[in-house]
Every structure is written in C-alpha cells, then in structure tokens.
C-alpha cells in the first residue's frame, strides 16, 4: 500500500501472510497468541483501512511466487549437487566440483527469491519457476 504525502509516496505492508498464526507453538497444533499478535493483525488491518479512507492511496498486491521444494531439489541434483545431511528444519546440499554448500529449508514451498539464492550459492543455473 502506498500513501501520498507532500514529499512523495510512503509504502508499507498492511498485513503479512501468516501473521495471525505468529503465536503457534512449533511442535503443537494449538495456537496461543503471544502478546496479542493474533488479534493484532486484524486490528492493524482495520486501522490501516480507517487511516487510508479519503486519502490518495495506491494498493498493490504483494506477490510471493513459490517453487515446490521437491522441484528445487530435483533441479539441484540434475546439476550435480549432492545431499550432505538432513536436519530438522533444513537439508544441506553440496556442489563438490565448485566446493559450495547451501541449505534448503524443510518446507513444502520455497519463495522464488530464496530458490534463486540457493542456486546462486551452489553455482547452478536458476530453477525455472
């Protein structure tokens, strides 16, 4: 969201994806908000809408394209990278000819920017998103 001010525009994010579940315990299914975070996202959204009403505002969607983890791993292995070890939250891959390593998060989807950084770290061409 961009708000017009005398000096130009000010850009800010109204709400981040997953913000309402920021208080979830990583090992459990129950959500227990910490410090009111769960209601905070709703409150911030309401305040932003009230604050922006009647003013010159430009809203643009925050585009977060993602790539499937299995597709990224397949791409890395096709370009000669090997699995070194798996941890609880990351998998370590190595490109032995260029002596480079990188970690791949253990999530089902990975943001395209992070996938490009992993490919760059391992000196392989970027995966097609």
Tell whether 9 is covered by a domain.
yes
Average pLDDT over residues 23-34: 44
Question: pLDDT grade, residue 60 (50/70/90)?
Answer: low
Cβ atoms 123, 98 nearer than 8 A: yes
Q: What is the mean pLDDT of the chain?
A: 75
Note whether 43 and 71 are same-domain residues.
no
Tell whether 129 is covered by a domain.
no
What range does the domain containing 46 cover? 2-58
pLDDT given at position 44: 61
Average pLDDT over residues 54-78: 80
pLDDT given at position 53: 64
Provide the number of structural domains found in the chain: 2
Give the DSSP per-residue string, 77-125.
Answer: HHTT-EEEEE-SSEEEEEEGGGTEEEEEESSSEEEHHHHHHHHHHTT-P
d(CA 37, CA 129): 33
Residue bearing the bigger pLDDT, 63 or 79? 79
């Amino acid at each position: 969201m961009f708000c017009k001010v005398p000096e130009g525009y000010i850009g800010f994010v109204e709400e981040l994806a997953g913000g309402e579940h920021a208080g979830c315990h990583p090992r459990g299914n129950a959500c227990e908000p910490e410090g009111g975070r769960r209601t905070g996202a709703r409150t911030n959204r309401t305040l932003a809408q009230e604050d922006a009403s009647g003013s010159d505002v430009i809203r643009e969607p925050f585009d977060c394209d993602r790539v499937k983890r299995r597709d990224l791993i397949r791409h890395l292995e096709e370009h000669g990278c090997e699995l070194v070890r798996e941890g609880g939250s990351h998998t370590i891959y190595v490109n032995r000819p260029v002596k480079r390593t990188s970690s791949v998060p253990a999530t089902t989807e990975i943001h395209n920017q992070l996938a490009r950084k992993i490919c760059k770290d391992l000196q392989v061409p970027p995966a097609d998103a």
